[in-house]
Amino acid sequence: MTHDLFVSYSQPDRNCAFAIVQRLEARGINVWIAPRDVSPSADWAAEIIDAIAGARLMLLIFSGSSNESDQVRREVERAVHKQLRILPFRIEDVLPSKSLEYFLSTQHWMDAFPPPLEPHVDRL
């Protein structure tokens, strides 16, 4: 399974993440996002690992919620381990926690504020 983009986000940012995915897919970008693309009855963790391995880039929807999410931190760590490029897309004016800063300190960030979101997504 290969795709252009793996989207990592925190559950409270779900609506924002899916709005971004919809806009990117309308431009022909092949996106993988959970839970939409997790196969029925599949092992969730294994699907995430496979999706990260099959991506060309991770888009991290970065917010206060994702900053505190253990799941997001695991996904970022796996992406770094697999030498996958990560694009942090900040939807809130929040700096990364130390545990995420460790993985993201060399990445170029894109800020997606102030609203509206759409012009920022179009820059991706």
Residue range 37-52: mean pLDDT, rounded: 93
pLDDT digits (tens, 9 = 90+) for 68-108: 999 999 999 999 999 999 999 999 999 999 989 888 877 67
What confidence tier does 1 reach under pLDDT thresholds 50, 70, 90? low
Q: For a pLDDT cut of 70, what percent of the chain falls above it?
A: 98
Sorted by where each starts, the structural domains of the chain and their CATH numbers stand as 3-122 (3.40.50.10140)
- Enter the pTM of the model: 0.88
User: Which DSSP state fits 123?
Assistant: T
Mapped onto helix, strand or coil, the DSSP state of residue 66 is helix
Instruction: Decide: residue 29, CB within 10 A, 0-12 exposed, 13-18 middle, 19+ buried.
Output: middle
